[in-house]
Amino acid sequence: MEHQYEVFVEPSAEEATGLASKFVKSILSDTVLHRGFCYLALAGGTTPHGLYLRLAADGVSGDVPWQSVHVFFGDERDVPQDHIGSNFLMAQRTLLDHVPINLAHIHPMPADAEDLRNAAAEYENTIRQVVPCDGGAIPRFDLVLLGMGADGHTVSLFPGADVLRETERLVAAHFVPVLGRKRMTFTYPLINAARNVILFVTGSDKAETIAHVLGHDAEARAKLPVCGVMPTAGKMKVILDADAARAANLRPQ
Ligand code: 6PG
């Protein structure tokens, strides 16, 4: 299936971060203005680090209604929330400690629980209780932020994983052989129910993968989990710096 992405290429990672911040702020503000609350799922890894710092700095100016935003996490590592590898800790230090968000509206993913399967089901229940379905069967996030690994994984949906074929569960936990660790993750049904998805990728190490993601080779795309992200009734923006876009022969606008 062909992709329907809106692709944006900025000359540098810094400028791509600036554009991502602009889109995130716009979605958060418009959503709260029109719907009263905004339901946001943050990405982990290192790419969003600068984005969260930028949002925190802008957030101090008060132009983002953080008090009406609920924050969830698209995936999490099997470490405690105070561990350096925790996506929650990264978001807390760069963003959540610096904006006027209601602490009760921050929902860390319990990926270090003893019984991960049960913890994933509980996290899914929390999402079902908090995030409106708007007439559908699946809660609809207003924005899901995603990164991408050079192997085409996104959140913790890795190539070849059984969880890629999950059609019922919205949150799953699984052992990731390539990491030798367990992860908890949103599944495609939950991601693809979102109103907005932003895939934010920078760096030349991801250029070849991005070229396949944006290309037309169905066989190559089928091997890349990020290509399974296709919001059923939402919009998807792909924000790149020139290094990540180069192999796709895309230049900054
Ligand atoms: C994680 C992320 C993961 C991340 C990619 C890219 O927990 O690591 O959720 O999906 O987005 O691995 O990571 P970088 O931004 O560090 O390249």
Nearest atom, ligand 1, residue 203 CA? 17
What's the predicted TM-score (pTM) here? 0.97
Which residue has a Cα nearest atom 3 of ligand 1? 155
Question: For 102-116, what is each residue's pLDDT tens digit?
Answer: 999 999 999 999 999
Q: How far apart are the first and last CA of the chain?
A: 26
- For residue 144, tell me if it sits in a domain: yes
Q: How far away, in angstroms, is 146 Cα from ligand 1 center?
A: 8
Q: Which residue has better confidence, 81 or 234? A: 81
- For residue 132, tell me if it sits in a domain: yes
- For residue 227, tell me if it sits in a domain: no
- For residue 242, tell me if it sits in a domain: no
- For residue 117, tell me if it sits in a domain: yes
pLDDT (0 to 100) of residue 3: 67
Question: For 20-43, what is each residue's pLDDT tens digit?
Answer: 999 999 999 999 999 999 999 999
Q: Which of 135, 127, 152 is nearest to 209 (CA)?
A: 152
- For residue 237, tell me if it sits in a domain: no
Choice from 17, 94, 112, 148 to test ligand 1 binding pocket (greatest atom count within 8 A of CB): 148
The model's confidence at residue 124, banded by pLDDT at 50, 70 and 90, is very high
pLDDT (0 to 100) of residue 253: 80
Question: For 198-252, what is each residue's pLDDT tens digit?
Answer: 999 999 999 999 999 999 999 999 999 999 999 999 899 999 999 999 999 999 9
Q: How far away, in angstroms, is 45 Cα from ligand 1 center?
A: 4
Q: Which of 209, 234, 251 is nearest to 4 (CA)?
A: 234
pLDDT (0 to 100) of residue 102: 97
CB contact burial 118-127 (16+ within 10 A = b; e otherwise) = ebbeebbeeb
Q: How far away, in angstroms, is 64 Cα from ligand 1 center?
A: 25
* Ligand 1: lining residues by beta carbon, under 6 Å: 43-47, 75, 87, 147-149, 153-155
The edge-to-edge listing of strands for the beta sheet with 143-146 is: 6-10, 235-241, 196-201, 143-146, 38-42, 69-73
The model's confidence at residue 4, banded by pLDDT at 50, 70 and 90, is confident
Q: How far away, in angstroms, is 135 Cα from ligand 1 center?
A: 32
Number of domains into which the chain is organized: 1
Choice from 17, 42, 52, 75 to test ligand 1 binding pocket (greatest atom count within 8 A of CB): 75
Question: For 153-191, what is each residue's pLDDT tens digit?
Answer: 999 999 999 999 999 999 999 999 999 999 999 999 999
Please give the mean pLDDT across all residues of the chain. 96
Choice from 109, 144, 154, 184 to test ligand 1 binding pocket (greatest atom count within 8 A of CB): 154
CB 112 within 8 A of CB 10: no
CB atoms near residue 12 (< 10 Å): 13
**CATH classification at residue 95:** 3.40.50.1360
pLDDT (0 to 100) of residue 2: 59
Its domain, for residue 182, covers 35-200
